[in-house]
Amino acid sequence: MRDQFYVIGQPIGHSMSPTMHNEWFHENQIHGHYDAKEVGISDLESIVTEFRSTAKGFNVTAPLKVEVMKYLDEVDPLAKEIGAVNTVINKDGRLYGKNTDGIGYCRGLSLVLKSPIEQENILIIGAGGAARAILCSLLHLGVKHITITNRTTEKALELKNGLRLKEQDVKVISITDAEERLGTYSLVIQTTSVGMKPNEAAKPMSLHNLSPDTVVSDLIYSPYKTAFLKEAEQKNAKIQNGLPMFIYQGAIAFQEWTGIFPNTINAYKLLEEKLG
């Protein structure tokens, strides 16, 4: 019998995860199959109970990443700190939760960064769940210079104050201050939902003072290039959309389930063809 895997969330119809994981099963000659299943909060507990005996693993997406934690047997420390799980591994009926989003994001960055990530001076725009996953993962990797800016400064302060910081330096500044100091950052990470609607012209902040030496990354990959990324590109900065993060979070999950790290280059080509 083949091993069964899922992604659950709501809405789930446009998820690219089944295409990507099924291609990886095929490439690696693994007898597995991955499906998307529409699941809302009210059905979550019964689905997770069912998966204990029917699924080898599953991914979890919005709006279930926080809620799912209470139905699992164990959650790893980084996922606990992030406060959300996107990957579940079924070990003989025991469900183990991890979060591969932030680490996946950081692995994807290696495609555009010239120096090791620990040496970057980073500006994160946003203070929601995605920002938290990336911030915790950057701290976990030992990044020392991080600044957060957000429309609502109090939320950025709450995010910072909720973390156990060692010698790392996390600053919180207003959007206006971030706009002014933009030229001092080597990497800008856009984590808000601004730009997600098709043809949306809004940007979370002005890029007037952007230097061409700064790498600008946006977690959104549909639309493929947000207005924010287009402006950064016009200013000759190196840009990256959210596709590498999506692929690497999936690749790390695939490795957790099968022991094999899959081919991310082929996945990139496959998904770029569909989305680009």
Residues catalogued as catalytic: 65
| β-sheet bridge partners, residue 146 | 122, 170
126 labeled part of a ligand binding site: yes
Q: Is 61 annotated as a binding residue?
A: yes
Least Å distance, CB 150 to ligand ATR, is 5
Q: Which residues bind ligand ATR (CB under 6 A)?
A: 126-131, 150-152, 155, 191-194, 204
Pairwise CA distance, residues 35 & 18, whole Å: 6
8-state DSSP, 225 = S
- Give whichever of 55 and 135 is closer to ligand ATR, judged by the CB atom: 135
- Give whichever of 18 and 129 is closer to ligand ATR, judged by the CB atom: 129
State the pairing for strand pair 57-60/87-91.
antiparallel
Distance CA 99, CA 81 (A): 10
Alpha-carbon distance of 145 to 142, in angstroms, equals 9
Distance of closest approach, residue 65 Cβ to ligand ATR, in angstroms: 8
Residue nearest to ligand ATR (CB): 128
Largest CA distance in the chain: 59
Whether the CA torsion 273, 14, 82, 98 is positive or negative: it is negative
Extract the tokens encoding 62.
Answer: 């919005």
Report the nearest approach of ligand ATR to the CB of residue 41 (Å).
15
Among candidates 2, 8, 4, which has minimal Cα distance to 45?
Answer: 8
- The distance of closest approach from Cβ of residue 251 to ligand ATR in the complex, given in angstroms and rounded to an integer, is 21
253 labeled binding residue:
no
Q: Which is nearer to ligand ATR, 128 or 142 (CB)?
A: 128
User: CA of 50: how far to CAs of 38, 42, 235, in Å?
Assistant: 14, 14, 51
Say whether 130 counts as a known binding-site residue.
yes
For ligand ATR, which is the closer residue by CB, 192 or 258?
192
**3-class secondary structure, 46:** helix
Q: Is 101 assigned a ligand-binding role in the annotation? A: yes
Binding residues for NADP(+): 126-130, 150-155, 219, 242
Binding residues: 15-17, 61, 86, 101, 126-130, 150-155, 219, 221, 242, 249
Binding residues for shikimate: 15-17, 61, 86, 101, 221, 249
